[in-house]
Each structure stands twice: as structure tokens, then as C-alpha cells.
Chain A
Amino acid sequence: MFSFIEPAPQKIIGEASRIFYYHIPQAWISVIAFAMSMIYSIRFLKKRSLDEDDKAAATAGLGFMFCLLAAVTGAIFAKVTWGSFWNWDPRETSIFILLLIYGAYFALRGAIAEDEKRAALSAVYAIFAFITVPFLIFVVPRIVPSLHPSDSIVNEDMKFTMGPSVRTIFFSSLIVFTAVYFWLFNITRRALKIKRHLLNEDK
């Protein structure tokens, strides 16, 4: 709520700067969710428990949803500041590739009927998919010239570029988004567990 009232609009881009309180936490959550998907995939390969596979799929789904939201809010920001929704800027291209990579993860899951086989193949895929995440989100946009702001949070000396009120609202937003993600993950994980239990009863 305070993101709309308290901080003064940014000098150059004006009120559009407020999207920053939503866009960055969404991108942050998608990275966390994809990382969790990789962790649960490794755990599946170690334990061979389908519960771990359910958790990996649940968090990858949430990561995809937050990644899509980050792309949409980013496109709105691009329309206001750069004049069009999509410019194939390195950052936009890398998020598009990331969405394709995780879209393929769900296509893979949907294509295999056998539980064990689906879990094993998608676990290996999720591990390789996550290797691309730091490269696409942190490396590519920094080595290729981009219009995307790169010093919204910290500058090259790793010092905060935000004022105290902006920092407070930004980190509050980050905490709320993270809490919502964990809540969603918890509900999805439990629902998938019930589904698996009912499917096993039917067999």
C-alpha cells in the first residue's frame, strides 16, 4: 500500500517506477522456486521418493507463474519507459528463453504416463534447467548492452542505491511475496500428496 503513497516518484520515469516493488520480488521468487525445484529433484534422485518429485513439480509451477508475472510487469514498465511492450532487449529475451525452458519441463512431464520414469527424467531435466537460470538472469544481461536498469538495488560497489523509505517498502514487498510463495508451495505440496494417496487407493 505504501508503495503507492510514500516514496516520491522517480525523477526520470515518474510513477512507473513504483512497479519496481512488484517486478523485482516476482523475479526473485521465480529464481528461488526454480532453485528449490532443482534441490527437490536431486533429493528425488537420491531417495527415489515420489513425494520429492511432487514437491519439485509444485515449486517449478510456482516459479513459472512468478516468472510470467515478472515478464508481464516488465513489459508494462517497458511500454511506459521504452515505448513498446516487447523490444527483444537481452533481459526480455533471457526471460523468454527461461519461460520456454520451464514450459518444456511441463511438456516433458505431461508426455510420460509412468510415474517413476516421469519423475526420473524430469528430475534430471530440472537440474540442467536450473544451471541456465543464473546464466540467463545474472550473466547475459550484464555482458550484452541492455536498456534494463542494472543498479536499482545495489551499485557496482555493492552499496544500496535506494533511499531509506524505498528500501523499507522494497524489502517489505520482498518478504510478503516470499511468504505468499511458501504458503502457495505448502498448499500445492499437500494437495499433491492427497492426490497421490487417493490414486494409490484406487489402484
Chain B
Amino acid sequence: MDGNYVVMTVTLVIWLGIFVYLLKLDKKVKQLEEKIK
């Protein structure tokens, strides 16, 4: 079961990283959209 928790933690970190990256990217694109309006 311990191995499962290691994989789960790694997966969670990856998902969290993707989520934060997309959030930042979304914000940046929104700023650029406002700039060119």
C-alpha cells in the first residue's frame, strides 16, 4: 500500500502543477486580451 501512496502523491503534485500553470496562463492571456482591445 505504501507504494500506492507514493504514486498518489506524485500524481497529486503533477495535477496541482498543471492546475497552477493553467491558472497563471489563463490570467496572462486575459491580460493580453485586455491590452489589445
- Scan A183-197; emit 1 where CB is below 8 A from any B CB, else 0: 110110011001001
- Nearest CB in chain B: distance from A19 CB, A: 10
Task: Known contacts A1-B12, A194-B32, A198-B36; decide if A184 and B22 are in contact (CB<8 Å).
Answer: yes
- Scan B1-37; emit 1 where CB is below 8 A from any A CB, else 0: 0011101100110000010001001100100110010
Task: Known contacts A4-B7, A194-B36; decide if A187 and B12 are in contact (CB<8 Å).
Answer: no
In the complex, A15 has a CB within 8 A of chain B: yes
Query: Which residue of the partner chain, among A4, A15, A191, A197, contacts B11 with CB atoms under 8 Å?
Result: A4
Residue of A nearest to B35 (CB): A194
Name the A residues within 8 Å of B4 (CB-CB).
4-5, 15
- Scan A40-51; emit 1 where CB is below 8 A from any B CB, else 0: 000000000000
- In the complex, the answer to whether A4 meets B5 with C-beta atoms within 8 Å is yes
- In the complex, the answer to whether B11 meets A194 with C-beta atoms within 8 Å is no
| A-B contact sample (19 more), CB < 8 A, given A4-B7, A183-B22, A194-B32 | A1-B8, A1-B12, A4-B5, A4-B8, A5-B4, A5-B8, A15-B3, A15-B4, A186-B26, A187-B22, A187-B25, A187-B26, A187-B29, A190-B29, A190-B33, A191-B32, A194-B29, A197-B36, A198-B36
User: Which positions in B face A, CB cutoff 8 Å?
Assistant: 3-5, 7-8, 11-12, 18, 22, 25-26, 29, 32-33, 36
- Complex Cα–Cα for A15 and B2 (A): 12
In the complex, A180 has a CB within 8 A of chain B: yes
- Scan A160-184; emit 1 where CB is below 8 A from any B CB, else 0: 0000000000000000000010011
- Complex Cα–Cα for A1 and B4 (A): 10
- Complex Cα–Cα for A184 and B19 (A): 10
- Complex Cα–Cα for A180 and B36 (A): 26
Residue of A nearest to B29 (CB): A190
- In the complex, the answer to whether A180 meets B18 with C-beta atoms within 8 Å is yes
Residue of A nearest to B32 (CB): A194
- Complex Cα–Cα for A194 and B32 (A): 7
- Complex Cα–Cα for A71 and B5 (A): 24
| Nearest 7 Cβ contacts at the A-B interface | A4-B8, A4-B4, A190-B29, A194-B32, A187-B25, A191-B29, A197-B36
